[in-house]
Structures are given as C-alpha cells and as structure tokens.
Structure 1
Amino acid sequence: MQIGILIPGFSADESDWCIPVYLNLVRELARHHQVRVFPIRYPYTQVPYTIYNALVLPTGGGSYTRGLARWRVLRRTLALIEAQHALRPFDVFHAVWADETGVVANWAGEKLGIPTVVSIAGGELVGFPDINYGLQNGRVTRRLVERALMGATRIVAPCDYSVLMALDQLPPERGEVLRKVPLGVDAELFKPPAQELDWRPREFLHVGSLVPIKDQVTLLHLIAKLPNATLDIVGDGPLYPQLEALTHELGIADRVVFHGAVSHEKLPAYYQEARFLLMTSRHEAFCMAALEALACGAGVIGTAVGVLPEIGMTASVGDVTALQEIVIGRTRKHAQLQRARYRMLVETTYTVKHMADGLLEVYEEACSDFEK
C-alpha cells in the first residue's frame, strides 16, 4: 500500500525522538508498505531524507504562523504532495492532528481522488480560555478543526474519551466514519526491570511537560494531603519556578524531586523504579506516559481524561479528595501479580503493532468505501 502521512513535526533522524509514537508507527508501517511522511513545521529543512525505509519530505514551515504566511506553507505542502502523487500515486493519505494537517490532507484527497484519514491527536476538540489551551478557543483554529473532520473519509480517535468528545461535536452522520485506534508503546524499550522486586524505590512518579494543561498544581496539592508520600517529577517547562515554589508553600519540598527533562531512551529506568504514575491533567487526547508506565509494570492513577479511565484508577478533573481516596484505598498486596497484569494489558492491546494493524484496517476500509 502507498501511504502518505501528513504531520506537524517528525523526527529529523532515527535518534530524534520528536514525537516517539509516530516515529514508531512509521517504522512499523514501513516494514511492509511504502510510506512517505510530510512534516509541515519540523524539521526546519526542505531537504528530503529517509528513516526506516520511509521517505520524509519536509515543508520546513517552522513555527506556527497566521494569515497569508500560514496559507503559503499549506499550499507549498499541497504542491509537494501532488508532485509525489504524480511519481507514485497514493492509496490513502493520513493526517495526524485534525487541524491544518487534516485540512491539507483533505485538499489533497479531493484534488487527487484518494481517501483521507484524519486522527485526533491533541487539543483539537477542547478550549480552555483560562490557560489559552485548545483549538476551540480561536475562530480560525476552530474552523480548521471543523474542515479537517468534516472532509475526511475516516476519522480516528485513540481512546473512548476522545471518541465520546468527537461524537458530541460531530453531526450524527459523521459519527458513522469515526473509528477508535489506540496508540501503541514500544514494548521492547518500555518493559519491566530484568529483576523485579516486591518493593520499588519510587513511590509516585509524574512524567510530563510542566505546563498548565497538565495541572501539576493539583498534583502537588494531592501529595500535600498524603503524609510521607514522595513524588518524582520528570519533565521541564515554563511552570517549573511556580511549581517549585509551591512545594515550599505546601511544606512538601523535602518529598518532591524535580528531575527536569529526561531523554526518551532513559525514561524506562524511572518507570521501572516506580510503583504508580500520577497524572492530574485537565485534558489528554490519549496520554502516552500512562502506557509507558503500564508497560514497565507501574500502576496508573489520575484524572478521567485520555486513556486513563481504560487502564487505571481515575477521579474527576481537579478533585483532590477523590484522588486522595483512590491512593489511600489502592491495594498493597500481590504487587508482582499486579505488575504482570499491567504488562499483559499492554502486550495484548497497546503495542506499536496493534496501533499499526488498527490503522491499516481503517486505511483499507477508507479505500473500499471511497471506491463505492
């Protein structure tokens, strides 16, 4: 199958973990199919290159732009897609993120006569004005999302939470083209330690950028209500000074360790030493950190967003008391058996191969439907 993938950013080489899950997806698809990737914004070059037998053709659009500058970048991307289609026609075109990538994919689909698949991958369906997050906040971005979703042959959402959110916003007839395909984790990289112990040294772990949508303020208030509980935070971002100051205000500075940014290949060591991952986000389209933790044998506790309700114990967004009750009430017996169950769930549902196979089914369905 000739597959085109349109994405905001993609790895500049095999060691660049720009968006790890999509690098892994391309690697898996390219084993048996011809894959061409079109990154719009990153890397900042227009020179083609190859990764895992996939041809990458960047537009080099740079950071997000508005108005005429944005449309020039998108038109340049469309022209690049058309030129590639003339060389080797695409069977299907897949846009990751239902915004400008989805719009360009649908332009290409209409012009070239090929089916399109658009994946919901981030904040397309939400808007939080208080923290300036989500594409529903702006008139133009809201319109881009609408066009991306309304023009696709198939729409993909990665979890029940995102499926329900999409169904709530789409016309009933568009709900018929919506499919759920979970993201997948690299189960060879993220795995339990070679020798598992009954007791893991890190009690609670949090992995994520220090930004408002992740709501680490709620996380720290939760730790403050759990006497003697310790927390390791992996990630960096603009809220670090505020969050570090808050640990002192709450009297938990001696129980919270900020590790800063950690490279992707070093993350497994943190998960392998953790008993539980804590996530208190206000929104997640999916939450790869939860899958990475599960694959390494760590349990997941958090807010009822993204994939968390399907794989962990959850409470309503911002509900510190309910989260506290979950933490206190969690089982402390049969730790190794629980970790084996976490791992089994990943191996049977959430691997990279599961993700690729699920998308291939959607591609084939889109092609079949398009030909009718």
Structure 2
Amino acid sequence: MNASNRKPRIALLGTGVLGGGSLGQGVPVVANLFKRLSLQYDIVYYSYVPIDTTQIPAAIKVRQPVRWRLPGRVKYFCLTLRCAWDHLFRPFDIIFAVSVYPTGWYALLLRRLIRKPLVVQLIACEAAALPDIGHGNLIIPWLAEITRRVCAQTDELVTISDFQKEVALRSLPTTRKINTLILGIDSKKFPYHQREISLPVQFLHIAYLSPIKDQETMFKTFSIISKSVACRLTVIGDGYNIPRVRQLLETLNIENLVDFEGAIAQEKIPACFQKAHILLHTSRFEGSCAVVEEAMTSGVVVCGTAVGMLADVGERLAVVAAPGDAEGLAERTLQLIADPLRYNMLGREARQYVLSYNADWAAENYRLFIDSMISKGNVGK
C-alpha cells in the first residue's frame, strides 16, 4: 500500500473488551465502536486476557498473551513487547488503552518504547472509590497509585459520560483536561415499539448480579411498587440462582412476581424490550450504561439511579433518584405509571435523544479525536 493511501494504525490494548466474557461478547458497545473504526484505521488488538477470536471483526488483527505458565505480569510485559516488535515492521500512529490496569499501565511503557501518543479511556469505576461495596480502583492502595499515575501521564484521558468525568476530577483528584466521548449504541438493532402504560406493568432489569449494580435496591423498589399496582419483573443476567437472592425475594414477598431468564446473547436483547414498559436500573455507579440507551431506543422508559448516562440526562428523559433510594425511586415510578401522557412523552424524547447520539455519531467523534491526536503527534514523557 502506498504511503498516501495507508490507513493510520492503532495499537488497541484491552482486557477482553472485544471477544471476552462467557459469551465472547466483550463489552458490546466498545466492540461496536472499534468495528466501525476499523473501516478507517488498521487496528491491532492486544488483549491482556484470553478471548474468543471468532467474535472479533475480520478487519481487526488480534494478539493474545502467551499460553505458557507464567505470572500475569510477565505475560503482560511479553504482550507489550510484542506490540513494540510489531511496531518495528509496521509502525503504529497511536496507542489506545481501554481502562487503566493492566492496559493503561503497560501502555505507558509501550509509549516510552515506540514514542507514539497515548489515549487512555475510562469505561467503569477506575477513577472512583466505593469502599462500602468494595468497588473502584481508588480503594486499593497499589491500584490507586497506578490509576493516578496513568491518568496523570497519559497524553489524553477519555471518559464516556460527563458524570464519570466529574467523579474522576473529584476523586483522583486532578485538574488536567479530561475529554468526554460517549460510546453510543447501534440504534438500528433496537426496533421501536409504540406502547401505552397498562396493567400489569411489565418491568425489566438487565445486568449481572453485583453490588455495583445494586439489585437489592432494585428488588426493594419493585416490591414497594407491587404493593400499589399490578406488575411483574423480568430479570436477565448471570448470578441470581443463589440462596441470598431467593431469601431476599421471599422477605420482600415478591418471589411469585419475578421471572429470571439468565444470561442471553446480545443479539437476543432487542426482543426482550418489546414486552416491557419500564427498565428498572439501580446501579451505584456506571461509566455510561448501554442498556439504558438500548431501552430508550426501543421505546421503553427508564427508571433508575442518577449515575452514568442517567445522571447526564436527568429527569428530562428518565425517572431518576439518588443511588440506594428505593423509596424515592418507587414513589417517582408510581407517579409516572399514573401519568400516561408523561410516560409517552418520556418515551418519545428519550428515543430521539439516543438516535441523535448513536453509534454512528460516536464513531465519527472518536475518528475526529484520534485524527487530531495523530496530526499533533505530541508524546509525553
């Protein structure tokens, strides 16, 4: 290929964000972004954990850790050296690390070796501290130190919501520039279904069981609502078949009102929204939250906690309450159910918002951002 029509090359560092997880889906919204960017860039994906390579777009080349029995840090170092070796033969133009550790940390080493600009993208609670539930890089001393160094030394730092950016500025703390670049979903995969709020109200929750997703608040919220209106809850995700969950449902007297569907493939998610009226999402923290956007695109109104995207859009596009406030969220949700006109308005306006800032829009924003970094070529120490 002539230099004039050569695609810019990206060294993408991640921990299973493409091809990872039990179903090989990685983080679907991140995977979708780089699938789109692979049309404009030559991307080599260095995954610091083993992945399902059959799930990776053909245009993206993959490198994985060696299979030898070695300590994790040795494997990370070897993979980083492999990236530097690849650079010798086909130079990269930019390093893009998804998350802080191990990817961002080893990306700093890689930058010293190949002298190319580095962007680190935060996608979860890397720059947060939630000690009561054991989440967030900043609650672990050695990881907090790495996080602060990576966030301070990278050439560009990216968050995926304004909420996440504000948390990072406050928690690191830092005064450096942080760019917010939302991810956006492939809205074409989530067909819109016009619906009216009716009884029984069909609630939906999609998430793996985790303290960060705070399903205890979710179930408590649903329990309060169920005492006032006829309703059912469908839960999709891993981890619920444990005594603690069954005991909680029995205590809340909702064991006969909840259906568990288990984990399902991403391509089956759109159908799950068709029968739902309300998505109930009560996380303690979110970087953004793709499932919220997917629900909105489908015409499902979202009731949840003010974190991630829901903190950004607020009451104008959803029903929100403070994290952990089951009573407040239940009260606001009941008010919504009693107001069909507001329900319809929220459904329409939220859908239009997500369509305006979908995956196509997001990919173009990332392209402009990456091209600007490449053209400047500034590399930190």
Q: TM-score, normalised by structure 2?
A: 0.86
In the alignment, what sits opposite 1:78? 80
* Contact in 1 for aligned 2:96/2:119 (Cα 8 Å): yes
Q: How far did 1:156 drift?
A: 0.5
Partner of 2:14, secondary structure, is strand
Partner of 1:262, secondary structure, is coil
Describe the shift of the 1:12–1:180 C-alpha distance in structure 2 as closer, same or farther (beyond 3 A).
Answer: closer
In the alignment, what sits opposite 1:94? 96
In the alignment, what sits opposite 2:330? 324
Partner of 2:212, secondary structure, is helix
**Alignment of 1:2 onto 2:16:** no
Cα distance in structure 2, aligned partners of 1:129 and 1:156: 24
* Contact in 2 for aligned 1:233/1:256 (Cα 8 Å): yes
Deviations 1:332-358 (A, max 9, x none): 127555433322211111x22222222
In the alignment, what sits opposite 1:290? 292
Partner of 2:185, secondary structure, is coil
Deviations 1:227-278 (A, max 9, x none): 2332111112167432222111111112222222122111111112211111
In the alignment, what sits opposite 2:113? 111
* Contact in 1 for aligned 2:19/2:55 (Cα 8 Å): no
**Alignment of 1:367 onto 2:374:** yes
- The one-letter code matched in structure 1 to 2:332 is I
Partner of 2:15, secondary structure, is strand
Cα distance in structure 1, aligned partners of 2:319 and 2:344: 18
Deviations 1:293-330 (A, max 9, x none): 11211111111111112342211111122112210222
Q: How far did 1:75 drift?
A: 0.9
**Alignment of 1:210 onto 2:209:** yes
Cα distance in structure 2, aligned partners of 1:280 and 1:6: 30
In the alignment, what sits opposite 1:127? 129
- The one-letter code matched in structure 1 to 2:217 is T
Deviations 1:32-53 (A, max 9, x none): 22111111112289xx996231
**Aligned residue pairs, count:** 360
* Contact in 2 for aligned 1:34/1:54 (Cα 8 Å): yes
State the Cα RMSD in Å: 2.6
Describe the shift of the 1:44–1:197 C-alpha distance in structure 2 as closer, same or farther (beyond 3 A).
Answer: closer
**Structure 1 stretch displaced more, 48-57 or 180-189:** 48-57
Structure 2 alignment gaps of length 5 or more: 1-7
Describe the shift of the 1:157–1:61 C-alpha distance in structure 2 as closer, same or farther (beyond 3 A).
Answer: farther
**Structure 1 stretch displaced more, 325-334 or 210-219:** 325-334
* Contact in 1 for aligned 2:129/2:171 (Cα 8 Å): no
Describe the shift of the 1:202–1:107 C-alpha distance in structure 2 as closer, same or farther (beyond 3 A).
Answer: farther
* Contact in 2 for aligned 1:40/1:61 (Cα 8 Å): no
Deviations 1:120-147 (A, max 9, x none): 1112122333432222221221122122
Q: 1:51 aligns with which of 44, 47, 57?
A: 57
Q: TM-score, normalised by structure 1?
A: 0.88
Cα distance in structure 2, aligned partners of 1:50 and 1:257: 32
**Structure 1 stretch displaced more, 235-244 or 210-219:** 235-244
Cα distance in structure 2, aligned partners of 1:109 and 1:243: 46
Cα distance in structure 1, aligned partners of 2:50 and 2:101: 16
Partner of 2:137, secondary structure, is coil
* Contact in 2 for aligned 1:41/1:60 (Cα 8 Å): no
Q: 1:357 aligns with which of 357, 364, 376?
A: 364
**Alignment of 1:17 onto 2:25:** yes
* Contact in 2 for aligned 1:7/1:96 (Cα 8 Å): yes
Q: How far did 1:92 drift?
A: 0.9
- The one-letter code matched in structure 2 to 1:162 is Q
Partner of 1:284, secondary structure, is coil
Structure 1 alignment gaps of length 5 or more: none
